[in-house]
Amino acid sequence: DAMVIQNPRYQVTQFGKPVTLSCSQTLNHNVMYWYQQKSSQAPKLLFHYYDKDFNNEADTPDNFQSRRPNTSFCFLDIRSPGLGDAAMYLCATSREVGTNLLNTEAFFGQGTRLTVV
Amino acid sequence: AQKVTQAQTEISVVEKEDVTLDCVYETRDTTYYLFWYKQPPSGELVFLIRRNSFDEQNEISGRYSWNFQKSTSSFNFTITASQVVDSAVYFCALSDVDSNYQLIWGAGTKLIIKP
């Protein structure tokens, strides 16, 4: 059974039209991550939640926001998608203890492939 | 600065051949962690292994084995008797104190196993 579920698998949005990607987990992990992965590249961390604490990467554009209403769910909001935001968006979870993320084992969802038209 | 190099962009072998994926890393920290992830065509990243810098013991899991050598800063991954289902992109990654334990990813190696 899938433990990290991302919906939808494929999303087409119009240039400039806000879009939300969702992620849910059944693992009860305290950390959730959002990554952006462009074609033939490694994933790039956008931000993560450590419990309710939001941690933004320094180079994540303001166009990207996130919400985590509870342990199980996390959302990625793209306020005004541009053509350059077309990518695979990966959600991941891990269970971490302490102030440093040890990445003990990150579980990834299948991703949402976003197309901007 | 930390860096992970996977020099092999793409490898193609025939089924049942053994194949080794190379990973070379750079870090100033003495405490760090190394990872391998598999990304099949379906898209999700699948965790394969995590190794800390104090454990240089090689690991074997079925047809998979990992060779960690601090002397050469390498963490290579070997698949024995490869199968078509092994076809995927494989990423090596590093996390350390300097990165606040965020994952520093290699560029990935695309492995193609031909029947």
Identity of the residue in B43, B102, B105 whose CB atom sits nearest the CB atom of A111: B43
| A14-18, A37-41, A67-71, A82-86: the lowest-pLDDT one | A37-41
**pLDDT recorded at residue A106:** 83
User: Per-residue pLDDT for A115 more than 90?
Assistant: yes
Quick check: B97 and A110 CB within 8 A? no
User: Per-residue pLDDT for A102 more than 70?
Assistant: no
> Which residues of chain B neighbour A101 with C-beta distances below 8 Å?
95, 100-102
Mean per-residue pLDDT of chain B: 93
Pairing of strands B109-114, B10-14: parallel
| CA pair distance B31, A45, nearest whole angstrom | 22
Query: Which residue in chain A is spatially nearest to B31 when comparing CA positions?
Result: A102
Reported as a single tens digit per residue, the pLDDT across A71-101 is 999 999 999 999 999 999 999 998 876 655 5
**pLDDT recorded at residue B71:** 93
User: Per-residue pLDDT for B22 more than 60?
Assistant: yes
User: Per-residue pLDDT for B59 more than 90?
Assistant: no
Q: Closest by alpha carbon to A84, among A101, A102, A70, A63? A: A63
Quick check: B45 and A42 CB within 8 A? no
Rounded to 5 degrees, φ, ψ at B24 are -120, 135
Q: Closest by alpha carbon to A74, among A105, A53, A97? A: A53
Contact B79, B17 (CB under 8 A): no
Residue B23's pLDDT band (cuts 50, 70, 90): very high
